[in-house]
Chains A and B, each alone.
Chain A
Amino acid sequence: MKQASLKKLNDSYEEKFGFAMPEKSVLSFDFGLSPQIISQISDSKNEPTWMREFRLRSLEVFQSKPMPPWGPDLSEIDFEQIRYFIKDTDIESKSWDDVPAEIKETFDRLGVPQAEREFLAGVKAQYNSEVAYSSLQAELDEQGVIFCSMEEALQKHGELFKKYFATLIPSADNKFAALNSAAWSGGSFVYIPPNTHVKRPLQSYFRINAARMGQFERTLIIADEGSSAHYVEGCTAPVYSEYSLHAAVVEVFVLPKARFRYTTIQNWSGNIYNLVTKRAKVMRDAVMEWVDGNLGAKTTMKYPSCYLVEEGAYGEMLSIAYAKNSQIQDTGAKMLHLAPNTSSKIVAKSVSIAGGTSNYRGLVYIAKVAKNSKSKVECDALILDEKSSTSTYPDMKISGDNAMVEHEASVSEIEEEKLFYLMSRGLDKAEAMTLLVAGFIEPIVKELPLEYAVELNRLIELEMEGSVG
C-alpha cells in the first residue's frame, strides 16, 4: 500500500516537474573530458590565457585525484558519459521580453509564484550552462553593486576576478572542486562595495535541462568592508533517465565588518549527484550565514564552511535535509576557528521518510591561536518510518585555550500521542503529519524568504499525502 502510493507520488512529481524542454543548443561538445574539450570551452568563452591554463592544470589535478574514500557511494558516476558544456543561448538577454519563450514556459510549468516573477527583474536565471537572463537592476548599478555572470565578470572585471578566484577553494581541494575548476561554466559573480547595503535579496535560478549534462557553476562573491547583502539560489530540475552530475563551487569573501547571507534551496530531480563545495572566508568582525535546504537529488554531499580567519569573525549554518525514497542527504558544515574571539553556530535538522537516509557530517576546528572561541552545534533528526535512517558524524578538533564548544544531537520519531491529539481535532493523518514535520523544521524555514517557505511547506504537504497510506 505504502509502496503503491509512493509510486503514485513519484509519477505525479514527474508529471509536475519532470518535463524536459527540447534542447536547442548553439554549441554542444562530445561526451567525456579531455584537454581538447577544456580548450574548446575556454575558446568559446574568449578567455584570457591564465584561465585556460588554470582549467588545463585543474584537469590534471582532477585526473590524478582519487574519489573520496568516505561518505556515500559515488561509483555509479561515469565521467566519460557526461557532456561537459552546452550553451543554450548565445547572447545574454537584457530584458524579460528577450527571454526565450521556452524558458518562460519552464517557469510557468514549475509554478514559480507571481511574487517571484516580479522579482525576476533582479534575477539571474541559469538555464543549462549559462546565464540566460540578465537584467542589471538600476538600483544595483546605482549602488555600484556588480551582479553578473562569471563569464561577464572575467571579461569586464578581470583584475577583481583574478584577485579572488580559486584562492579559497583551489583546484586541489577535492576531486569535484578540480572538476569544476576545469569545466566550470555559468554561475554568478557578486561584488558589494564598501559600506553598501543591498536591501533586496540577489536571486538566482539554476536549472539543468539536458540529459547526461554535468553542470559546473562557479560562484564568486565579495562583500567588501562594512557591506551587507543576501544571496538566494533555488533550484528545481526536470527528471531524466540517466544520471547527472552537479558539482558547483561557491567562494564567498566577507571582508571586515561585512555581513553576508547565502540561502540555497536545492530540489534537484532524483537522478542527480549534487556534490558541492562551498566556502566562506570571514574577516575581522564580519558575519557569514549559510542557510541551506536540501530536498532533492539522488545523493547530496555538501558541507558549507566558514574560515574564521580574523578576530571577532562569526559563522553560522542553518540547514534542513529532507531524504525520501532511496535519497542520501549527506550534509553538514565546517567551522574553522583560526583567530582569537571567533564564534560559530550550526543548526542542522533532517527529516527521513520512506527509505531516505540523512547524515550529518560536520567539523568544528579551533586552532591553537583561536583563544576564547565559541561554537555551538545542534543536530536534530526526525525519522518517519522504519525504512529510513539517520547518522551523525560530528568531528571536533579543539586546541585553542579557553574554548567553549557545545554539541547537542537528538533523534526523534513522530509521537503517536501528538498524532492522536491533532487527529482528534478533525485532521487526517497526512495533515497531522504535515503539521508535525513542518513544525519540526520551522526554526529554519522561518529564515527563508517567504516564497521559498511557502513552496517548502507545500512540498512537505504533497510528500505526506503520498506517503501516508
Chain B
Amino acid sequence: MLKIKNLQVSLNKKMILDKIDLSVDSGTTHVLMGQNGAGKSTLAQSIMGNPNYTVKGELSFDKQDLLELDPQKRAALGIFLSFQQILEIPGVKIYDYLRLLQKKSHDKKLTPLKFKAFLKERMELLSFNESFLTRSLNHGFSGGEKKKLEILQMLVIEPKLIILDEIDSGLDIDAIQAVARAVNFMKQTKGSSVLVITHYSRILSYLNIDRVHLLSKGQLITSGGQDLVEQIEKQGFSQVLAGNQ
C-alpha cells in the first residue's frame, strides 16, 4: 500500500535522502533503524508532506500519488505520523480537539455520549489520565505525556498506516508497553500497517515485526527480518554497517 521508489529528498538544496526504495504492504509492520542523522525523520516527514522538503521520485499510497497532495489529504487517505518533535499548542482543549479529529477521520458521526465512551475505552488502553482532557494540546506536558497523547490521537483517527518516529525515546517501560498495546490494537481491529522508526530494539519485542531496514547517511543499506535487529543489538550500528559495505 505504501510504495516508495527511487526517492530523493532535499532540504534547502542539501540532499538528505537518495535512492530510497521501500514498500509496506497492508497489515505488515516494518522497522526503520539507523544512527542519528541517518535521515529517518526526514523520510517520515516527507511521507506526511512537510512542505519544507523537496521530494522527487515515486511516493504513493493505495496507488495514489502522494506528491500531489497536501498533508491534510494524505491524512485523509489514512496516513498518520507520530512526531518526534511535538509542538505545544496552547489554548486548544484536548477533548474538543480529539472530537474534531474523530469527526474529520470518520464518515460516521458519534453523539457526544458515544464519543465519550469511545474515548474512555481508548484512554484505558493507554492508561491515560482522564484529567488531561481539559488541558491544552501538549502544553506543559512532559516528553512522555506528549508521546502518549500522540498515540491517543492515533487511536481516535484509526489510520491505515501508522508511522511512529522515535515514539520510544524518553518513555519508561510501562509507557512503552502501553504504546505497543495501542499499536497492536490498531493492527488487530483495523488491520493497520506500521512503520516504526527507532534506535532501540526494546519496543520491537512487543510488536510482531515483518521487516527491518537499516538506513545510513541517507541511503538504505540493507533489509532483513528480526535477526537484523538482533545483530544490530549485539554488534552496534557501526559494525553492522561496516559488514555491509
Interface of A toward B, CB cutoff 8 Å: 415-418, 420-429, 431, 435-436, 438-443
A426 and B91: CB pair below 8 A?
no
Asked if B100 is an interface residue, CB under 8 A from chain A, the answer is yes
Would B89 and A424 count as touching, CB distance under 8 A?
A: no
Interface string of B71-91 (1 = CB under 8 A from A): 110111000110100110111
Question: B52 to nearest A CB, angstroms?
Answer: 8
CB distance from B192 to the nearest CB of A (A): 15
- Decide if B120 is an interface residue (CB 8 Å cutoff): no
Residues of B within 8 A of A435 (CB): 89, 92, 97
Contact with A along B38-74 (1 / 0, CB 8 A): 0000000000111110000000000000000011101
A423 and B72 in contact (CB under 8 A), knowing A435-B89, A441-B91?
yes
- Is B101 part of the binding interface, using a Cβ–Cβ cutoff of 8 Å? yes
Q: Are A439 and B75 in contact (CB under 8 A)?
A: no
Chain B nearest CB: distance from A428 CB in Å?
5
Q: CB distance A426 to B101 under 8 Å?
A: yes
Closest residue of chain B to A445 (Cβ to Cβ) is B91
- Cross-interface CB contact of B87 among A418, A431, A442, A443, cutoff 8 Å: A418
Please, which residue of chain B has its CB at the minimum distance from the CB of A435?
Answer: B92
CA distance A295 to B206 in the complex (A): 53
The answer to whether B104 has its CB under 8 Å from any CB of chain A is: yes
Residue of A nearest to B90 (CB): A439
A417 touches B87 (CB 8 A): yes
A420 and B51 form a contact (CB under 8 A): yes
Judging by beta carbons under 8 Å apart, are A425 and B153 in contact? Answer: yes
Residue of B nearest to A442 (CB): B91
CB distance from B166 to the nearest CB of A (A): 16
29 chain-A/chain-B pairs, Cβ below 8 angstroms:
A416-B51, A416-B52, A417-B87, A418-B89, A420-B50, A420-B71, A423-B72, A423-B75, A424-B49, A424-B74, A424-B80, A425-B80, A425-B153, A425-B157, A426-B76, A426-B101, A426-B104, A426-B105, A427-B100, A435-B92, A435-B97, A438-B91, A439-B89, A439-B136, A440-B91, A441-B91, A442-B91, A442-B92, A443-B91
Chain A residue with Cβ nearest B48: A424
Query: CA–CA, A418 to B71, complex, Å?
Result: 12
Which residues of chain A come closer than 8 Å to B87, judged between CB atoms?
Answer: 415, 417-418, 421
CB contacts (< 8 Å) of A443 on chain B: these are 91
Separation of A423 and B87 alpha carbons in the complex (Å): 13
Please give me the residue from chain A that is nearest to B74 by CB atom.
A424
Q: How far is the CB of B37 from chain A (nearest CB, A)?
A: 20
Closest to B103 in A: A426
**Residues of B with C-beta under 8 A to A428:** 72
Q: Is the CB of B72 within 8 A of A429?
A: yes
Q: Is the CB of B101 within 8 A of A425?
A: yes
Chain B residues positioned under 8 Å from A416 (CB to CB): 51-52
Which B residues touch A429, using CB under 8 A?
A: 72
Q: Closest CB of chain A to B165's CB: distance in Å? A: 11
Residues of B within 8 A of A420 (CB): 48-51, 71
B101, A439: Cβ atoms closer than 8 Å:
no
A417 to B91, CA, bound (A): 17
A439 to B136, CA, bound (A): 9
Q: Which 3 A-B pairs have the closest CB atoms?
A: A439-B91, A442-B91, A426-B75
Not counting A424-B48, A438-B92, a sample of 20 additional A-B residue pairs whose C-beta atoms are within 8 angstroms of each other reads A416-B52, A418-B87, A420-B51, A421-B89, A422-B89, A424-B49, A424-B71, A424-B72, A424-B80, A424-B81, A425-B75, A425-B101, A425-B153, A426-B72, A426-B76, A426-B105, A435-B92, A435-B97, A439-B137, A440-B90
Which B residues are CB-close (under 8 A) to A422? Answer: 89
Distance between A433 CB and nearest chain B CB, rounded to angstroms: 12
**In the bound complex, CA of A412 to CA of B75 (Å):** 27
Q: How far is the CA of A442 from the CA of B136 in the complex (A)?
A: 10
CB-CB < 8 A to B83: which residues of A?
Answer: 421
How far does the alpha carbon of A441 sit from the alpha carbon of B92 in the complex, in Å? Answer: 10
Q: How far in angstroms is the closest Cβ of chain B from A251? A: 34
Query: Known: A424-B49, A426-B104, A426-B105. Is A439-B72 also a contact (CB below 8 A)?
Result: no
CB-based contact A427/B92 at 8 Å: no
Name which residue of chain A comes closest to B72, CB basis. Answer: A423
Report Cα–Cα, A4/B82, bound state, in Å: 37
Residues of B within 8 A of A440 (CB): 90-91
**Chain A residues closer than 8 Å to B92, beta-carbon distance:** 435-436, 438-439, 442
Whether B91 contacts A427 by the Cβ 8 Å rule is no
Residues in A with CB closer than 8 Å to B91 are 438-443
Question: Which residues of the partner chain A approach B136 to less than 8 Å between Cβ atoms?
Answer: 439, 442
In the complex, the answer to whether B104 meets A427 with C-beta atoms within 8 Å is: yes
Check B89–A423 contact: CB distance below 8 A: no
In the docked arrangement, what's the CA distance between A120 and B235, Å? 76
A431 to B100, CA, bound (A): 10
Chain A residues positioned under 8 Å from B104 (CB to CB): 425-427, 431
**B159's closest neighbor in chain A, by CB?**
A426
Q: What residue in chain A is nearest B76 (Cβ atoms)?
A: A426
CA distance A442 to B83 in the complex (A): 25
Give A105 Cβ to nearest chain B Cβ, in Å.
32
Which of chain A's residues have a CB closer than 8 A to the CB of B52? Answer: 416
A456 to B: closest C-beta gap in Å: 13
